[in-house]
Amino acid sequence: MTAQSFAPDSGRIKARFDALKKEGRSGLVTFITAGDPNYDTGLEILKGLPKAGADLIEIGMPFTDPMADGPAIQAAGLRALAGGQTLARTLDMVGEFRADNQDTPVILMGYYNPIYSYGVERFLKEARDAGVDGLIVVDLPPEEDAELCIPSAKAGVNFIRLTTPTTVGERLPVVLNEYTSGFVYYVSILGITGTKSATDAQINEAMSRLRAHTDLPIAVGFGIKTPDHAKAVADVADAAVVGSAIVDKIKENLDENGQATPGLVDAVLSYVSDLAQGVRG
């Protein structure tokens, strides 16, 4: 099977990267966890992200056992779950976002079990209807493509692949196979989210390695915490992904009972604006 025989995707991801190219700059991908710290506040942040300068939005689907994520994102997921977040409500959230925004690509990120439990076919249909453009599912390597990647490609939802510093040699074409689309997410460190950072030299080396194998845009994430750092990454990649640092901003603006303080949404969006300024140089 070749990529051409798949159903067309929503086109939003490609359109956004094409537009960025025309503007001559790299993009900012922002990550928040759905329902963190609660559904309404999370939705308000989500709706404010494009204006604050997010070019693409990743929404984490909370999971109890996020093996590849660090403490910040795990805590965000547990906050959301404690507030009653479910996969169905995450799809609702995307639907509500789409009511006001038709352009900004939305990518759902998470682990496979909640999707498997929901039912792959039902999930893909509802995700597509809600306005989801892409999926990143951390625990589905190409060896398990039959589970979700191929059905996703057929359903017209981009399946975005993670590559890492260990994705080298003959493994690169295995990972960057014909089913991967949208963009490539380069996890720039060996480790979990929100911990260490890669050096510019390491990222540069990885970019040339990846570009030899794919024409897809490449977004780089893990460990980006400041506007300057986002800029440095954006200088060599097609987009910089910021997750844990944004999630930390949410946490910093909770009161002692874990409830959102009045300034939370502004604080998060103002931090995203700073990052966007950084990326735009």
Give the active site residues.
58, 69
User: From the centroid of its chain, how far is CA 201?
Assistant: 24
Indicate which single residue of 76, 160, 192, 220 sits in contact with another protein (rule: CB under 8 A).
192
150-171 residues labelled b (16+ CB within 10 A) or e (exposed): ebbbebebbbbbbbbbebeeee
State how far the Cα of 198 lies from the Cα of 175, in Å rounded to an integer: 21
CB neighbourhood size of 137 (10 A):
25
Sites for another protein among residues 202-261 (CB under 8 A) = none
Answer positive or negative: Cα dihedral of 244, 246, 249, 255: negative
117 binds another protein (CB under 8 A): yes
Q: Report whether 21 contacts 14 (CB < 8 A).
A: no
Q: Which helix (H) or strand (E) holds 221?
A: strand 218-221
Query: Interacting stretch for another protein, rule CB under 8 A, among 13-21, 26-34, 39-47, 109-117?
Result: 109-117
Per-position x/- string for 127-156, each x denoting binding to another protein as judged by CB under 8 A, each - no binding: -----------xxxx-xx------------
Query: Interacting stretch for another protein, rule CB under 8 A, among 15-23, 183-191, 204-212, 257-265?
Result: 183-191
Q: How far is the CB of 130 from another protein (least distance, A)?
A: 17
74 binds another protein (CB under 8 A): yes
Q: How far is the CB of 197 from another protein (least distance, A)?
A: 13
Q: How far is the CB of 195 from another protein (least distance, A)?
A: 7
Kindly give the pairing relationship between strand 56-60 and strand 27-33.
Answer: parallel
Q: How far is the CB of 165 from another protein (least distance, A)?
A: 8
Give bridge partners of residue 28 from the DSSP assignment. Answer: 240
Q: Which residues bind another protein (CB under 8 A)?
A: 62-68, 70-71, 74, 81, 86-88, 111-118, 138-141, 143-144, 161-168, 171, 175, 187, 190-192, 195
